[in-house]
Amino acid sequence: MHTFKAHEIRDKIKSKELSSQEITKAFLDRIDAVEDKVESYVTVLADEAMKAAKAVDEKIAAGEEVGALAGVPMALKDNLCTKDVLTTCSSKMLYNFRPPYDATVAQKLKKADTVLLGKVNMDEFAMGSSTENSYFKKTKNPYDISKVPGGSSGGSAACVSADEAAFTLGSDTGGSIRQPAALCGCVGMKPTYGTVSRFGLVAFASSLDQIGPLTKDVRDCALVYDQIVGYDPMDSTSVNREYASFEDALTGDVAGLKIGVPAEYMGEGISAPVQKAVMAALESFKGLGADYSEMHLPLNEYALPAYYMISSAEASSNLARFDGVKYGFRAEKFDDLVDLYAQTRSEGFGAEVKRRIMIGTYALSSGYYDAYYKKAQQVRTMIMQDFDKAFETYDVLVTPATPTTAFGFGEKTDDPLQMYMADICTVSVNIAGLPAVVLPCGYDENGLPIGLQIIGKPFGEAAILNAAYALEKTISKVKPAL
């Protein structure tokens, strides 16, 4: 039962073919069986999950109306606030933090009658591309446990890939849903900025962060997105507009679809197996009636430095609240208030978080703001204009999701710049606030998944999900190592 997709579980529970308690117990047994290998969970809520499943079964037995994801077991990235449940951001700084409220997406999933299995591992405060920066553990890639699952939503992707949850939610600041989805062979989507409420998401970079689903297939992605999308007055960046059903938009018809393939994403640095798989997928699109051609996004080379300047500056501001006074970790030994701040932040934050805070603080300091942060924001506007021009001709853009397949633990930790390059295919989408979905499009010679990214126009989720749905039917699947 733990191999069932979310839409299959929904249908079987509503038809009373299976109970939510049976399904939930199967997933909890799966967690017991493989979690010591994968290490995707920070907190498992076994008793609470069974109680929630029982409540769903009782509602169905009583003939009451249930939510669209009734009884479906899922997990949340550990930077999404959950009332009275540990929300650590995988950091020593928040090792004991239990929020007094739910994130909006957590509220919406409760309303949909999902079953929360637990909170999953991540790079500390969502800063990283391999989930090696977690204070608690290093999550493994289910296809090869000697490889990283990607990051920062590595726990979310590995959890789905290892069948430890039917779906998860992650957050994506520069590719943190899409990159691990690619490395772990699942589907991940970063929605248009403002379509999913960020209320209750512990902020990394507020103008870039976006919450999205990681699922076993594209239908599940659309189904989950249907439940979390929508305006929220608690989020000042939330867009007030109506959304049609994304699941209903999955026709699989892509005849006449115009696909742009940015040459900048297919050149130096992109491995041969990844290029080959992406080109094969484009030929599959052609066989389905779509048309593709090479085009250019000339400012793409500036996306990565602009991203790290903007995100680090915003991180410096957002993480200033963690000072040892209000909540979370506090240093035991200090001389005065200033020393309390210094000791708490020195002991509570990991190396990568400190690195980005220092870069961001420097970029925002007097005399350097115009040269760095302001310049990066100007580049951001130009990158957005690049995409706007591309979408005058093309319906969607297709690129690799990552330059390579999953890499080994420790391979890139000694060189932060090399680690940052793992996001080269994804950061520009966040800079422009666009939607993008990643799905498996093949496997390398070692059986590791290769991800393909489909980028859409603002609010173009229906188009990219339908394109992914059509392509998915042409891709032969390989079972994970677990």
CB count within 10 Å of CB 393 equals 10
pLDDT digits (tens, 9 = 90+) for 425-459: 999 999 999 999 999 999 999 999 999 999 999 99
Q: What is the mean pLDDT of residues 17-38?
A: 98
Q: Is residue 481 pLDDT above 80, yes or no?
A: no
pLDDT score at 478: 80
Mode of pairing for the β-strands spanning 73-77 and 115-120: parallel
pLDDT score at 366: 87
Q: Is residue 417 pLDDT above 80, yes or no?
A: no
The three-class DSSP label of residue 277 is helix
pLDDT digits (tens, 9 = 90+) for 197-246: 999 999 999 999 999 999 999 999 999 999 999 999 999 999 999 999 99
- Domains defined for the chain, CATH in brackets: 6-256+457-472 (3.90.1300.10)
pLDDT digits (tens, 9 = 90+) for 180-191: 999 999 999 999
pLDDT digits (tens, 9 = 90+) for 233-278: 999 999 999 999 999 999 999 999 999 999 999 988 899 999 999 9
DSSP 413-435: TT-HHHHHGGGTTTHHHHHHT--
C-alpha span between 42 and 47 (Å, rounded): 16
Question: Which residues are part of the catalytic machinery?
Answer: 77, 152, 176
In terms of C-beta density within 10 A (0-12 exposed, 13-18 middle, 19 or more buried), how is residue 84 classed?
exposed
Contacts of 130 (CB under 8 A, 6+ apart): 123, 148, 149, 150, 151, 154, 407, 409, 412, 413, 419, 422
pLDDT score at 415: 81
* Average pLDDT of the residues of the chain: 96
Q: Is residue 12 pLDDT above 90, yes or no?
A: yes
Total-model pTM? 0.97
Q: Where are the beta strands (DSSP E) in 134-174?
A: 167-172
pLDDT score at 482: 83
Which band of pLDDT confidence, cut at 50, 70 and 90, is reported for residue 147? very high
Q: Is the peptide bond before 152 cis (omega within 30 degrees of 0)?
A: yes
pLDDT score at 420: 80
pLDDT score at 69: 98
pLDDT digits (tens, 9 = 90+) for 340-394: 999 999 999 999 999 999 999 999 998 899 999 999 999 999 999 999 999 999 9
In terms of C-beta density within 10 A (0-12 exposed, 13-18 middle, 19 or more buried), how is residue 279 classed?
middle
